[in-house]
Amino acid sequence: MFNLIHADLYSLRKSNAVRIAFCITCLTAAAMVIISYFMAKGSISSEISGNASALCDPMVMSMVGSLIAGIFICGDFQNKTIHDAIAGGCGRSTVLISKAISYFIVIAVMLLPYAIATVIAFATGSEFMPYLYTAFFDILANASGMDLTAEVFLKITAISVTLMIVYAAQLSICVLFSFLLKRPTLVVALGIGSIMLITMVMGLGDDFEIIESILSLTPFAMNYPTISMEAAAGDLIKAISSSLGFILLILGVTYAGFRKAEIK
Amino acid sequence: MRLVTGLSFPTDGGIELFGHVGERKLRMERKRIGSMIEYPTLIPDMTAKEGLRHHRIMRGIPDKEVEDELPELYQTATDFIIIHKGVIKKILTFEQLGEFCRHHILIRCNEPEKLVSILETELKTTNFKVMPDKSIRLYDYLDEVERVAKAIFDHGIMVTNLSNEGDTLESYFLSTIGGDRNV
């Protein structure tokens, strides 16, 4: 399995699409912080917050994550890398788990610019206006007026790592789509569509209480306010365990579909 | 082949590989097989050598030197067939392939005989070839095109083409199949 992960990371490192996606997350992270800064100063009207929300991590990660799943996993079906792994004696479960781990590592790397931009912005001590309810904006808002001490830095790191796991869990549905559909366009469309749909259903709140209570146990409910600067260690552990459970569930379903599937 | 390599599953009957049966043992025995079904694995954004490295890593082969055996294999072949998507695009000998891929300065002019004389007397080289269309392929001075141009210009020859030509094996393959968009 380590060989497969190593090979996957090597091919991802060579992929122009992944490099471009990383550049996009770097740019959007920087833009998010800059817009938030100028909004706080009053130089930019808060009316653009609707459009600017497209630069925030929930929107960008759902798009970039779905895109990478389409290119990386479906691409490996198309260029026969998965065929070679299986013909070379790797089990289907090994292929699935190694692909999922490589994919989650890339997701973590894609979120890294947001974490770094947030830490740098936090360290400046400037005022920022949160125009969307996200964990990174909660850190930026710095409602308690904290300084960047070692303890605060560790807390931000813990929040960032938790968010990486949460996003990996949310985007694990793209792994399911990729292994079952094997078509990049379908995976990208379904990935973005389903994440948006679930977010919308959660936003409806009171009207769908049962659905909302079920979804509250999934990683889709594990951004703000569960993860924030006020979150205790227990909250972060709850988010991580819920995400890991969701990943296991999705990978189990994926394996059930992929175990005896013919690979064309 | 697809059944043996585990890409499909039999609806009836069983598979025995090197005397072993059972899914777990079959997987182990598949490690002894080298196979390429229908199409080779070509990964976008990777050169042929990087693709080879990817497969070396994937198969857990620690010896990095195997990556350098690709050019050696290429040199032991006597005839080459360029196949793309199941269609034979070109058949050529090792010498022909070498000629196509060898880097050179391609010169076209109005007085090829005079140019040959200049190459031999002034630039002191016989490492060139006059082609049937009277163009000249110069295999020396690849990094000194300006010096070649000056020598030709000083003797009043009218040049219609002076360019560096030649391919790597990989770029020749791509040009034969119509560019990397078709890979």
In chain B, residues with a C-beta closer than 8 Å to the C-beta of A11 are: 43, 46, 54
Chain A residues within 8 Å of chain B (Cβ atoms): 3-4, 6-7, 10-11, 14-17, 75, 79-81, 83-91, 260, 262-264
Pick A83 or B68 by higher pLDDT.
A83
Residue B142 belongs to domain with CATH number:
3.30.70
Residue B171: its pLDDT value, please?
72
Q: Which domain holds residue A144?
A: 2-259
The verdict on residue A264 lying in a domain is: no
The verdict on residue B24 lying in a domain is: no
Residue A251: its pLDDT value, please?
93
What is the per-residue pLDDT across A159-208, written as a single tens digit (0 to 9) for each? 999 999 999 999 999 999 999 888 888 889 998 888 888 877 777 766 66
Considering the domain architecture, whether residues B47 and B132 belong to the same structural domain is answered as no
| ipTM of the complex model | 0.76
Nearest chain B residue to A18 by CA: give it: B45
In chain A, residues with a C-beta closer than 8 Å to the C-beta of B30 are: 86-89
Closest-CA residue to B157 (of B128, B115, B119, B105)? B115
Considering the domain architecture, whether residues B56 and B109 belong to the same structural domain is answered as no
List the single best residue of B38, B45, B64, B183 to mutate versus A (max A Cβ within 10 A): B45
* Distances in whole angstroms, Cα of residue B42 to Cα of each of A75, A178, B66, B97, B175: 11, 20, 18, 22, 16
The verdict on residue B125 lying in a domain is: yes
List the single residue in A90, A91, A262 with the smallest CB-CB distance to B8.
Answer: A262
Q: For A37-69, b where at least 16 C-beta lie within 10 A, e where not — what string?
A: bebbeeebeeeebeebeebbbbbbbbbbbbbbb
Residue A107 CA from chain centroid, whole number: 6
Considering the domain architecture, whether residues B162 and B123 belong to the same structural domain is answered as yes
The verdict on residue A168 lying in a domain is: yes
Q: What is the pTM of this model?
A: 0.72
Considering the domain architecture, whether residues B156 and B178 belong to the same structural domain is answered as no
Helix (H, G, I), strand (E, B) or coil at A183: coil
Can you give B58-82 as a three-state secondary structure string?
A: HCCCCCHHHHHHHHHHHHHCCEEEE
- The set of residues, in sequence order, having a beta carbon less than 8 Å from that of A46 and lying 6+ positions away, is A39, A129, A131
**Distance to chain B for A74, nearest Cα, Å:** 12
The tokens describing A253, both together, are 């379903």
* pLDDT band at residue B75 under the 50/70/90 scheme: low
Considering the domain architecture, whether residues B91 and B130 belong to the same structural domain is answered as no
Measured distance CA(A206)–CA(A59) in Å, rounded: 24
The verdict on residue B87 lying in a domain is: yes
* pLDDT band at residue A101 under the 50/70/90 scheme: very high
Residue A97: its pLDDT value, please?
94
The tokens describing B179, both together, are 């560019």
In chain B, residues with a C-beta closer than 8 Å to the C-beta of A79 are: 41-44
Considering the domain architecture, whether residues B177 and B87 belong to the same structural domain is answered as yes
List the single residue in B7, B39, B42 with the smallest CB-CB distance to A87.
Answer: B7
The tokens describing B157, both together, are 């020859």
Measured distance CA(A131)–CA(A110) in Å, rounded: 22
Q: How many domains does chain A have?
A: 1
Q: How many domains does chain B have?
A: 2
Taking the Cβ of residue B39 and every Cβ of chain A, the question of whether any pair is shorter than 8 Å is answered with yes
Measured distance CA(A203)–CA(A208) in Å, rounded: 10
Reading phi first (left if > 0) and then psi (alpha if -120 to 50, else beta), residue B134 is in left
Residue A216: its pLDDT value, please?
75
The verdict on residue B25 lying in a domain is: no
The tokens describing A176, both together, are 């399911």
Judge: B43–A14 Cβ closer than 8 Å, yes or no.
yes
The tokens describing A148, both together, are 């960047």
Per DSSP, what are the bridge partners of residue B159?
Answer: B109
Residue A205: its pLDDT value, please?
64
What is the per-residue pLDDT across B19-43, written as a single tens digit (0 to 9) for each? 888 888 888 888 888 777 777 777 8
- Helix (H) and strand (E) counts for chain B? 7, 6
Q: What percent of chain A has pLDDT over 90?
A: 30
Measured distance CA(A74)–CA(A68) in Å, rounded: 9
Does residue B144 carry a pLDDT above 80?
A: yes
Sign of CA dihedral B153, B156, B114, B124: negative
Give the H/E segment covering residue B24: helix B23-30
Pick A226 or A138 by higher pLDDT.
A138
Considering the domain architecture, whether residues B61 and B146 belong to the same structural domain is answered as no
Judge: B43–A11 Cβ closer than 8 Å, yes or no.
yes
The verdict on residue A36 lying in a domain is: yes
The verdict on residue B18 lying in a domain is: no
Contact A144, A178 (CB under 8 A): no
Ordered alpha helix ranges (H), B40-144: 48-58, 69-76, 94-101, 112-121
The verdict on residue A211 lying in a domain is: yes
Measured distance CA(B106)–CA(B127) in Å, rounded: 13
**Distance to chain B for A171, nearest Cα, Å:** 24
**Distance to chain B for A103, nearest Cα, Å:** 16
Considering the domain architecture, whether residues B89 and B39 belong to the same structural domain is answered as yes
- Chains A & B: contacts with CB separation below 8 Å: 77
Which of 4-23 (B) contact A at CB < 8 A? 5-9
What is the per-residue pLDDT across B85-100, written as a single tens digit (0 to 9) for each? 777 888 888 777 777 7
Considering the domain architecture, whether residues B114 and B91 belong to the same structural domain is answered as no
Measured distance CA(A138)–CA(A122) in Å, rounded: 11
Contact A121, A128 (CB under 8 A): yes
* Distances in whole angstroms, Cα of residue A99 to Cα of each of A5, A180, A200, B58: 7, 14, 29, 12
The tokens describing B144, both together, are 């000194």
Nearest chain A residue to B52 by CA: give it: A7
How many other CB atoms are there within 10 angstroms of residue A11's CB atom? Answer: 25
Ordered alpha helix ranges (H), chain A: 2-14, 16-41, 49-52, 57-69, 75-78, 81-87, 92-124, 135-141, 150-181, 184-204, 209-215, 233-258
**Please, what is the average pLDDT of chain A?**
86
Per DSSP, what are the bridge partners of residue B92?
Answer: B80
The verdict on residue A61 lying in a domain is: yes
Measured distance CA(B87)–CA(B84) in Å, rounded: 5
End-to-end CA distance of chain A: 23
Considering the domain architecture, whether residues B68 and B115 belong to the same structural domain is answered as no
The tokens describing A230, both together, are 């006020």
**Distance to chain B for A18, nearest Cα, Å:** 11
Residue A27: its pLDDT value, please?
94
Rg (CA), chain A: 19
Measured distance CA(A60)–CA(A196) in Å, rounded: 12
Q: Which domain holds residue B79?
A: 34-97+172-182
Contact A39, A137 (CB under 8 A): no
Judge: B9–A262 Cβ closer than 8 Å, yes or no.
yes
The verdict on residue B84 lying in a domain is: yes
